[in-house]
Amino acid sequence: MTTGELVCPAGTPASLRTAVDAGADSVYCGYQNATNARNFPGLNFTPDELGRAVKYAHDKGAKVLLALNTYPPAGGFELWKDAADLGAKLGVDAYIVADMGVCDYIATTHPDKRLHLSVQAAAASPDAIRYYVEKFGVKRVVLPRILTIPEIREIKTEIPCEIETFIFGNHGLMVEGRCSLTNYATGLSTNMDGVCSPAHLVEYDRDDAGNMSTRLGGFTIDRFGAEENAGYPTICKGRYCNEQHPEGYYAFEEPISLNLSRLLPDLMDAGVNAFKIEGRQRSRAYVRKVVSSFREAVDAVRAGREPNLADLVALTEGQKQTEGAFQTKKWR
């Protein structure tokens, strides 16, 4: 059984301190620019804030992982290089990366730093993972949320690096790092601009009966009845009408969150080294509740006790949760 490092999100300096205080082993965060995949307004860190955050985390025995997990566009590589150099200067413990050019730059320029392969690289086979390990010295892979626990156990025997899996939060199932839905609707790229469903192109419109329509870039992507729970304004979680489904249906995925609290012992037994909580765009209240709940649960499993997790369903998207592919490939 592994120790189960708890990797927690921080969208702001206050969230980082909250995560550390709630028991995070490591915290991941990004700069206020396109170098990370949560480039949302009002979120993320200035260089000064990141420097202070690293000191705070290190003083309390936690690590800071810097997300540089987007893909530089042609001619725009300097931003990613500068971000990596600054991260090294500020003392981050590892980089979370997706692009091979960024991997190569960090492996060459900052060889003493750990590289973690982002889920945005969508490496889900032993061959793919081994490539990144052999070429760039990647120490850990964050697996896409499409594998069962037996598959993860099998992969673990075939790769020379650590495994990190998501355990709570967004249930993203597109081929990550390759999704172009936002790009199609808005002209901005999730993978290069770092923003899925840019907020300045999201509109909510309520009618007199209380129904709410969600639009992205002028496209209506869902309509919620007055008593219905809402979800994020992402195309992959939208509900669409066609001739077979005039009432509308979830063409890609439902607004639902991953919650693997029940599967923690199996994941640790399968060799998963680190557990990632999704949600850099969420609040301190979310970070505090989710991190402290999973801290207790991981500690309980380590001590051979039954984990007793608080009910986190109120924090889930659409107030629904799933164990997704980790439990079965037929989750829908």
Partner 1 sequence: MNTTPAPGDAIKRHLPDLADLPMPLLPLQPVLYRIVRRVAALHPELFERLGKHQRTSFVIDLTDMPFALHLRPYLPSLILRAVKRDRLPAHQASISGDFKTLMRLLDADEDGDAIFFSRDLLIEGDTEAIVTLRNALDDVEGSIAEDVAEMFGAAGRLALTRLREMAHGPNH
**Least Å distance between CB 113 and partner 1?**
27
Q: Cβ distance 271 to 152 under 8 Å?
A: yes
Which of the ranges 90-98, 244-252, 292-300, 311-319 carries the binding residues for partner 1, by CB under 8 A? 311-319
* CA 254/CA 331 separation, integer angstroms: 11
Using CB under 8 A as the binding rule, whether residue 171 contacts partner 1 is answered as no
310 lies in the binding site for partner 1 (CB under 8 A): no
- Pick one of 62, 301, 317, 326: the residue that binds partner 1 (CB under 8 A): 317
Which of 94, 85, 87 lies closest to 45, judged by CA?
87
- Contact between 187 and partner 1 by CB under 8 A: the answer reads no
From residue 218 to residue 237, the character string flagging contacts with partner 1 as x (rule: CB under 8 A) and all else as - is ------x-xxxxxxx-----
Q: Judged by CB under 8 A, does residue 14 bind partner 1?
A: yes
The nearest distance, CB 295 to partner 1, in angstroms, is: 18
285 is a contact residue toward partner 1 (CB under 8 A): yes
Task: Return the beta strands (E) in the chain as ranges.
Answer: 5-9, 26-29, 63-68, 94-97, 114-117, 140-142, 162-170, 202-206, 212-216, 219-224, 239-240, 249-250, 257-259, 274-277, 321-322
In sequence order, the 6+-apart residues with CB closer than 8 A to the CB of 213 are 204, 205, 206, 207, 220, 222, 223, 224
Judged by CB under 8 A, does residue 3 bind partner 1?
no
How near is the Cβ of 256 to partner 1 at its closest, in Å? Answer: 11
Binding piece for partner 1, criterion CB under 8 A, among 92-100, 156-164, 267-275, 284-292: 284-292
Name the pairing type of β-strands 162-170 and 202-206: unpaired
Q: Give me the least distance between CB of 207 and partner 1, in Å please.
A: 12
Residue 203 Cβ vs partner 1, minimum distance, rounded to whole Å: 7
Q: In what order do the strands lie in the sheet with 212-216?
A: 202-206, 212-216, 219-224
Residue 67 lies near partner 1 (rule: CB under 8 A): no
Q: What are phi and psi of 211, to 5 degrees?
A: -70, 145
With binding defined as CB under 8 A, does residue 42 bind partner 1? yes
Instruction: Tell the smallest beta-carbon distance from residue 188 to partner 1 (Å).
Output: 12
Binding partner 1 (rule: CB under 8 A), the pick from 200, 245, 262, 329 is: 200
Rounded Cα gap, residues 332 and 325, in angstroms? 9
Residue 211 touching partner 1 (CB under 8 A): no
Q: Is 294 in the site for partner 1 (CB under 8 A)?
A: no
DSSP 71-139: -PPTT-HHHHHHHHHHHHHHT-SEEEE--HHHHHHHHHH-TTSEEEE-GGG---SHHHHHHHHHHH---
Six-digit token string for 60: 């309390």
Answer yes or no whether residue 274 interacts with partner 1 by CB under 8 A: no
286 binds partner 1 (CB under 8 A): yes
Q: Which residues bind partner 1 (CB under 8 A)?
A: 11-15, 17, 40-43, 198-200, 202-206, 212, 224, 226-232, 281-286, 289, 314-319
